[in-house]
Amino acid sequence: MQWLLLAVLGIMWAAFLVPIGRKRSDARSVEDFERRMELLANAEVHGTSGRWIVTPRKGVRFLGPRERQQARARARRRRVLVVLLAAIVLTGLIGIVPPLRVSWYAAAALGGLLVVYVWVLLVVKAREAAAPPRVVAEPERPRPLVLPEPLIEPDDHVVVRESITAGA
């Protein structure tokens, strides 16, 4: 009877991990489109020619390269944290089955890894807060054109004499 429970658990894992024949959602295709447009916008930055997409996404504040890099790092850190939490929960649930109690050791190891990861995130956050704010110099604006003072007053009369050359 235990092998039947194990077989059902294996089938559930296979159905979860192998998403064959699932229809792609519209939201996913929109995300793919936005990602491709972002790649196109950054194409010239990385040395290839491309066209610039100047407008930001709808409802999103325009981010410079540094802010965009920080936003991507935050999203990446969040994904890692969620994956660690999901792995701990799943291995803990697998450990409920008596022959698979060994997976609790994996859950404990992942829990320790989660604690270390959160500690590293806190250290990184403290360093960013302690670092002096980065000051970006404004581009130098063009100075107004200053004309030199005229040497001749407008009321003075200037007579221009043509020189007559001999033999002309």
Q: pLDDT tens-digit profile of 71-99?
A: 888 899 999 999 999 999 999 999 888 88
CA angle 55, 69, 128 (to 5 degrees): 135
Helices 65-94 and 103-130 cross at an angle (nearest 10°) of: 160
pLDDT given for residue 27 in this prediction:
63
pTM: 0.46
What are residue 101's phi and psi, to 5 degrees? -65, -15
pLDDT given for residue 113 in this prediction:
95
Sign of CA dihedral 91, 93, 94, 96: positive
Q: pLDDT tens-digit profile of 29-83?
A: 778 888 888 777 666 565 656 555 566 666 666 667 778 888 888 899 999 999 9
Q: How far apart are CA 17 and CA 4, in angstroms?
A: 20
Q: pLDDT tens-digit profile of 107-156?
A: 999 999 999 999 999 998 898 888 877 666 677 777 777 776 656 665 66
CB 43 within 8 A of CB 50: yes
